[in-house]
Structure 1
Amino acid sequence: MRSDKYVLSCECNCTSQENTFWLINQSDDSSVVLVDASQILTPAEFEKNKAGVSDIFGLVPYCSISSESQGELVRLRKIPSAPQPYCYVVDDSGMPNSCDTADCKTKKELVQRLELSIKTEALIEFKNATARLYLDEKHFRGFPKRSFVERYIKLNGYSKSDQQLYNDIAYYWQQAGFNEDSIWLLEKVISNSPERAVAYLNLADAYWGRDEKRIALGHYKKYSELMELSGKKQKIPKRVKERSEELESVSANAAPSALKVSPSLPAAMVAAIELENHMSAQELRLIPNGSVSWKGSVVGAVAYEDSKGSCSIYTYQGGVLGEVFSNVPCKFKGPPKLKSDRKAALPDVVYELEVFLPNRGAMVNHIVALYFDAEKNAFCSSSELADWYLSKGKNMMPDLQDGTCEVGAG
C-alpha cells in the first residue's frame, strides 16, 4: 500500500534458499521487475524468528547490521562468509530494468485480475491505512494519497457505494494539512452526490485551511442548509456558526480594490474543468493573471493545448462550474481588465479576445464582460455589457437583465 507495488514470490530452490520475486509497480503503468528481495529485520527479530518468518519473505543472515529502513524492499547480494556458508549485503547498484518477457507479462495480468477482484477491499484497506497514519507527519508525507485514488478510479470507475470511504479519506487528508488533495476528492464526491451534507463540511474546512475563507463560507452555508432540511440542525459543529459569523460581519460592499486578480485558478476549479472536458491539467494552459475572485466566486480563462486554438472562460462558485464563453479558434489579448466605467460598487471584469468569424473568414475583436451580483454572490456574464464596452459611444447605461449567473452553494 505504501509503495504502490505488488510482490509475487516463487520458492524456486529450497536447498539453496534462493527465491525469485517479481515487483509489479502499479504507479508506473504496471512495470515488472525481476529481483531477489528480502524484508529488513532487526537483530532482535532475527533472534526471535530463527526458524523463519510467517510471510512471503525468507529469513536471511546479513553480513553486518543493515541501516535500511524497516519495511522497505531491498535488493540483496549473496557472498561467502564464515561461520555461515554465506551472508547477504544490500546491493546498491540500483534496480534492474523492467522485464517484458511472456512470464513477466503473465505476472502483470495476474496482479491486474487480483486488483479487480479485491477492489473494494483495497479501498477499505487504503482508508484504514490512511486513518492509522494521518497523524504521523513523518511517515504520512510519503504515503500515497491522490495518486492512489486517481489510479483506483481510473481502473474501477467512480461508484456512489464508495462515497463514504472517499469522504473519510478526504477528511484525513484535510486533518493532516493536505487540503488540495482533500478538495480534489471532495469535489468528486459532491459532483456525484450533491446532497451529501458532510462532504460540504469537510470541503469548507479544507478551503478554510487554505485561507480561502470566502469559498469556505459558501460550503458552510450549504452544509447548514442540508443539515436543517434533514432535521439535524443541533448536530452542526460550533465552528461552522463561528466562522460564518466572522466572515459575514465583513461588509458586502467592500472597496473595488478588494477584487483579487490571481496568477492561476483554484485547484478545485481546475479539477472541475478537467472533469467537464475529459482532459488532464497538462492539456490546459492557464492565462497568466487570468483569474479574478471575490467572496468565494471565481472567473478564469483557459486555453487548450490542441491544434485548434480553443479557449474558454469559466465561472466557479460554491462547487458549480459554469462555461461563460467558448470558441475555436480564439486568442486572449491579455489578462482581464477591471473597469469601473459604470461606477458600480465593484468593477466589471472584461476579457478582450480575437475570435474567428466564419462569415467573415477572419479574426475579429471580441469582448466578454462580467459583473458581480452581490445578491447572488456570483459573477454573471452579460452580452449587453460586452456590447456596451465594445461600442465607442456609451451614452446609455447597459441593461443587465440578460445576465447569466451559475450559482452554487451559498
Structure 2
Amino acid sequence: MKNFVIFLLLSFANGCCANANEKILLAPELPKVMLGAISERNATSVNKVKIESGGALKWGSEYLVSISIKGEQKSCSVYKYTGNILFSLFNGVPCEFKGPADVNESRNTSMPDILYKIKLYLPNRGAMTDEMIALYFDEQKATYCLSDSLSDWYQNSDKKYPPDLSDGQCGYGPGE
C-alpha cells in the first residue's frame, strides 16, 4: 500500500510538471481552430491575421504566437493557446514587432523566457517608443505569463538581483 501511494504521488508530480521539461520549438503552422479563435477575438477574417516571422512557438500541446492584424492601424498581440482555449497576453495599438521572438535562457530557469521587442505608441509621450514584452514560465501554474517587471529587468536592471515576478499575468480567456 505504501509503495502504491508513493507511485501515485510521483505519477501526479511528473504529470503536473511535464511542460517544464518540454523544449520550445518554432511552430511551422498553427491549428486552424486557433487561427479561427484569433480572428474571432479580433473581429476580422483569418486572412487578415499576420503571424509574425519567428513568432509562433510550441512546447508540448501549448502555443505562443505573436500576430498583427493587416489594416490601416498597426497592432500587435501575443496569444497563448492551450487546451483549445485562447488566452490573450498582450494587445497594443498602434504597435509593431521589431523582429522574431527571442528565446532567452540567461536566467537559467527550467524554461526560457520569451522576449518580443516592439515599438508601441504611448499617449503620454505622444510618440512610438521601444518597449519589450517579456514572458516567463510559471512553475506552479505550468504555463507562460506576462511580466512588466521582467521586461524592465531585461531592459534596465542590475542583473545581480533576480526580477520580481509578482506582477505576472497568465492571460485572459474567452469573454475577457
Deviation at 1:317, TM superposition (A): 1.4
- In 2: Cα distance, 1:276 partner to 1:407 partner: 12
- 1:285 equivalent in alignment to 2:50: yes
Match of 2:170? 405
- Could you say which structure has the larger radius of gyration? 1
Offset from partner CA, 1:287-321 (integer Å, 9 cap, x none): 12201222222111111111011121111111221
Alpha-carbon RMSD across the aligned residues, in angstroms, is: 2.5
Are 2:34 and 1:269 aligned?
yes
> Which one-letter code corresponds to 1:369 in the other structure?
A
Match of 1:335 in 2: 100
How high is the TM-score relative to the length of structure 1? 0.36
* 2:77 corresponds to 1:312: yes
With normalisation by structure 2, the TM-score equals 0.81
Q: What amino acid is the match of 2:21?
A: A
Shift of 1:384: 1.1
Say whether the 8 Å CA contact 2:19–2:142 is kept in structure 1: no
Could you tell me which runs of 5 or more consecutive residues in structure 1 were left unpaired when the two chains were aligned: 1-244
**Segment of structure 1 superposing worse, 296-305 or 264-273:** 264-273
Rounded to whole Å, the distance in 2 between the matches of 1:252 and 1:282 is 31
SS at match of 1:367: strand
Q: Is the 8 A contact 1:264 1:286 kept in 2?
A: no
- Relative distance call for 1:251 and 1:304 in structure 2 (3 A) is closer
Q: Does 1:378 align with 2:143?
A: yes
Structure number with higher helix proportion: 1
**By how many angstroms is 1:267 displaced?**
2.0
State the Cα distance separating 1:337 from its structure 2 match. Answer: 0.4
Equivalent in 254, 259, 262 of residue 21 of structure 2: 254
| Amino acid in structure 2 at the alignment position of 1:327 | G
Structure with larger RCO (C-alpha < 8 A, sep 6+): 2
Q: Are the aligned partners of 2:136 and 2:145 in contact in 1 as well (CA < 8 Å)?
A: yes
Distance in 1, Cα, partners of 2:140 & 2:102: 23
Count of residues paired in the alignment:
161
For 2:150, what is the secondary structure of its paired residue? helix
1:196 aligns with: none
Checking the alignment, whether the CA contact within 8 Å between 1:339 and 1:350 is kept in structure 2 is yes
Unaligned stretches of 5+ in structure 2?
Answer: 1-11
Cα drift, residue 251 of structure 1: 5.4
Displacement of 1:336 in angstroms is: 0.4
CA distance in 2, matches of 1:407, 1:317: 12
SS of the aligned residue for 1:271 comes to: helix
Distance 1:263 1:361, change over 3 A: farther
Contact 2:49 2:68 in 1 (8 A): yes
> 1:390 deviation in Å?
1.4
* Aligned mates of 1:307, 1:405 — CA distance in 2: 29
Partner Cα separation in structure 2 for residue 335 and residue 317 of structure 1 = 21
Q: In structure 2, what is the Cα distance between the partners aligned to 1:252 and 1:304?
A: 30
